[in-house]
Chains A and B, each alone.
Chain A
Amino acid sequence: MTELRHVLLGAHLRPEDAALEGVVPLAAGPLVLSTITTEANRSLASREVVAAAARLRQELAAREIFVGIRYGATARDSEEAARKCAPHVQRWRSLLEQWRGHAELTLKAGGAALLRRPDRKEFASGAEYLRALQSLRRAGSVDPAFLDEAESRLRPIAAKMTRRAREDGGSEIALLVRREHLDLARQAAEELRRAHGAVPFLLSGPWPLEVFADEP
């Protein structure tokens, strides 16, 4: 019989929050862990496993907030999963009770990831290509005035908001909003795009608790 293991996706307050086809729930104290199962000897870098995890994570986040667990955490069974999560469970429960009915959104601005990557074939030499990549990274920094305006538009909608720099040179605003206000957030982003068409940015979500689960 093929040995299986569970890849942990997140921690949920109620069983119905993790009830989704393809998700195997495991109990962890007062919480429920969402997991997907895979062969124990199958690489976590397998395209199918990564794609399934990404898809189910998005679908779970679309229904209710949960604590997102960094991809790569695995467990043989519910006992091992509960043991690994035990140090975090009380804090997670507190967060999930506090933010139930909310969703995390992120607004990424600038950064090399949102700019068109140069095509190697357009350059006569590797050195020129590398210089173009470095220029792209420098071009990714964002005008603070744009970020200030983005925050001022989103603040009335957000229950909580924070800003941080990204590794690719861009900036990111993370916010928690009530689920019934998601469309208001998207509308604010559209108004921002009309006012600042030249600034590459992306509002995405709903996501699970990620930035706000990391906070001390």
Chain B
Amino acid sequence: MKEERDLSLVEALDHLLDRGVVIAGEAVISVGGVDLLYLGLNVVLANVDALTRLDAHRPPRREIAESGQEGE
């Protein structure tokens, strides 16, 4: 059932973000014909594992604070 719900969500998002009539002049989320919003979400959704690996290599919060840089 969870797999069906996940697939339904993916389908709903695909239809929302990659379908439909483009209103002329709307360039808020596309550059050079590439839909940045969709691409951005696709990159995030497709690379969660990469983000997880990157997150594992970030220095601990305490060290960031000690260095004087703004923490999260």
Contacts and interface: CB of A to CB of B under 8 A. Distances in A.
Nearest to B41: A45
A53 B16 contact: yes
Interface string A75-108: 0000000001101100010000000000000000
Interface string A187-216: 000000000000000101001101101100
A71 B7 contact: no
Q: How large is the interface on A (under 10, 10 to 19, 20 to 34, 35 or more residues)?
A: 35 or more
A163 to B, nearest CB: 16
Interface string B1-41: 00000011111111111011111111011100001010011
A208 B20 CA distance: 8
Given A44-B29, A45-B37, A73 B23 contact: yes
A134 interface: no
A44 B37 contact: yes
Nearest to A95: B21
Contacts of A117: 46
Please report whether the interface of chain A is mostly helix, strand, loop or mixed according to DSSP. mixed
Interface in A19-46: 44-45
B70 interface: no
Q: Is the interface of B mostly helix, strand, loop or mixed?
A: helix
Contacts of A113: 10, 14
Contact of A84 (B11, B14, B26): B26
A92 to B, nearest CB: 8
Given A54-B13, A58-B12, A84-B25, A68 B19 contact: yes
Given A53-B16, A54-B16, A88 B49 contact: no
A72 interface: yes
Interface of B: 7-17, 19-26, 28-30, 35, 37, 40-41, 46, 49-50
Given A44-B28, A71-B37, 19 more contacts: A8-B23, A10-B20, A50-B16, A50-B17, A54-B15, A57-B16, A69-B23, A70-B21, A71-B17, A72-B29, A73-B26, A74-B28, A92-B21, A202-B11, A204-B11, A204-B15, A207-B19, A210-B19, A214-B21
